[in-house]
Amino acid sequence: MVLLLIVLMIQCRQKESPSDPDSGIYQPTPYILQVPQGFPQPYISSDNPLTNEGVDLGKRLYSDAILSSNGLSCSSCHYRSKSFSTPYYITPDGDKISIPPHVNLVFNPDYNWNGSVTKLETLPMGDFEPQFFNTNADTLFYRLSHHSLYPELFYKAFGITNFYTLSYEELKMTICKALTQYLRTLISADSKLDRYQLKGGTLTQQERDGMDVFFSERGDCFHCHGYPLFTDNLYHNNGVDDQFIGQNAGRNLITHAASDLGMFSTPTLRNIELTAPYMHDGRFNTLEEVVEFYNSGVKFSRTIDPIMTKPGKESGLQLTAYEKSSLVAFLKTLTDTSFISAK
Amino acid sequence: MRGLLIYLVTGLMFVSFSSCKRDHKDTPKPVVITPIKVDMSFNVNGIPLLFDTIQFQNLAGNSFSVTRLDCYISNIEITSVTGVVYKSTKLFYVSARDTSTHHFTVSDLPLAGITSFKCKIGLSASQNISNSLIPTPANLNMAWPDNMGGGYHFLKLEGHYLTSNLQVFGFAMHLGENKNLVENAISATLTETQVSGGIKLTMDVAKWFDVPNKFDLNKTNYTMGIDSLMILLSQNGNNVLSINN
DSSP one-letter string for B46-110: TEEP-SSS--EE-TT--EE--SEEEEEEEEEEEEETTS-EEE---EEEEETT-GGGSEEEEEEEE
Question: What pLDDT, on a 0 to 100 scale, did the predictor assign at position B23?
Answer: 46
From chain B residues 71-130, the ones with a CB under 8 A of any chain A CB are: none
The pLDDT of residue B21: 46
Contact between chains at B135 and A234 (C-beta distance less than 8 A): no
* Residue A56, phi then psi, degrees to nearest 5: -60, -45
Peptide linkage before A36 cis (omega within 30 of 0): no
C-beta atoms surrounding A138 within 10 Å: 8
State yes or no: pLDDT of B48 exceeds 50. Answer: yes
Residue B76: φ, ψ to 5°: -65, 140
Q: How confident is the model at residue B9 (pLDDT cuts 50, 70, 90)?
A: low
Global pTM? 0.89
The CA-based angle A206-B130-B106, given to 5 degrees, is 160
Q: Which of A110, A259, A313, A317 best probes binding to B when mutated, by most B CB atoms within 10 angstroms?
A: A259
Partners of residue B143 in chain A, C-beta under 8 Å: 222, 226-227
Q: What is the mean pLDDT of residues B18-35?
A: 57
- Helix/strand/coil for A67: helix
Task: List Cβ neighbours of B123 (8 Å cut-off, separation of 6 or more).
Answer: B72, B74, B91, B151, B152, B154, B181
Q: Cβ-count burial of B111 within 10 angstroms (0-12 exposed, 13-18 middle, 19+ buried)?
A: middle
| CA distances for A237 relative to A170, A175, A249, A263, A291, angstroms | 38, 35, 10, 4, 16
- Any A CB within 8 A of B169 CB: yes
Q: Give the integer Cα–Cα distance in Å for A163 and A160.
A: 7
The closest CB to that of A259, out of B52, B137, B141, belongs to B52
A71-93: average pLDDT: 92
pLDDT at A11 over 50: no
pLDDT of residue B31: 54
Query: Can you give the pLDDT at residue A25?
Result: 73
Give chain B's end-to-end CA distance (angstroms, integer): 68
Average pLDDT on A61-87 reads: 95
Contact residues, chain A, for B168 at CB < 8 Å:
301-302
Contact A212 B148 (CB under 8 A): no
Chain A residue at shortest CA distance from B225: A217
| Cβ neighbours of residue A15 closer than 8 Å, sequence gap 6 or more | none
- Please give the share of chain A, as a percent, with pLDDT higher than 70: 93
pLDDT tens profile A149-176: 999 999 999 999 999 999 999 999 999 9
Q: pLDDT by residue (tens digit) across A22-70?
A: 556 789 999 999 999 999 999 999 999 999 999 999 999 999 999 999 9
Mean pLDDT of B14-28: 52
| Cβ-based contacts of A212 with chain B (< 8 Å) | 147
Question: pLDDT tier at B225 (50, 70, 90 boundaries)?
Answer: confident
Helix axes A52-62, A150-158, angle to 10 degrees: 140
Q: What is the pLDDT of residue A13?
A: 45
Mutation target vs A (from B62, B63, B147, B171; most A CBs, 10 A cutoff): B147
Question: Is A227 an interface residue toward B (CB < 8 Å)?
Answer: yes
Report which secondary-structure segment, H or E, holds B241.
strand B241-243
N- to C-terminal Cα separation, chain A:
50
Q: Which residue of A has its CA nearest to B53?
A: A259
A324 neighbors A221 (Cβ within 8 angstroms): no
SS3 A97: strand
Residue B8 confidence (pLDDT) above 70 = no
Torsion, CA A193, CA A197, CA A199, CA A200, rounded to 10: 90
* B26 pLDDT tier (thresholds 50, 70, 90): low
A289, exposed or middle or buried, with CB in 10 Å at 0-12, 13-18, 19+? middle
DSSP string, B131-190: T-S---HHHHHTB--GGGT-SBEEEEEEEEEE-TTS-EEEEEEEEESGGG-EEEEEEEEE
- Give residues with Cβ within 8 angstroms of B110, minimum separation 6: B33, B34, B35, B36, B86
Residue A287 neighbours by CB under 8 Å, 6+ apart: A272, A273, A276, A278, A328, A331, A332
pLDDT (tens digit, 9 = 90+) per residue, A281-309?
Answer: 999 999 999 999 999 999 999 999 999 98
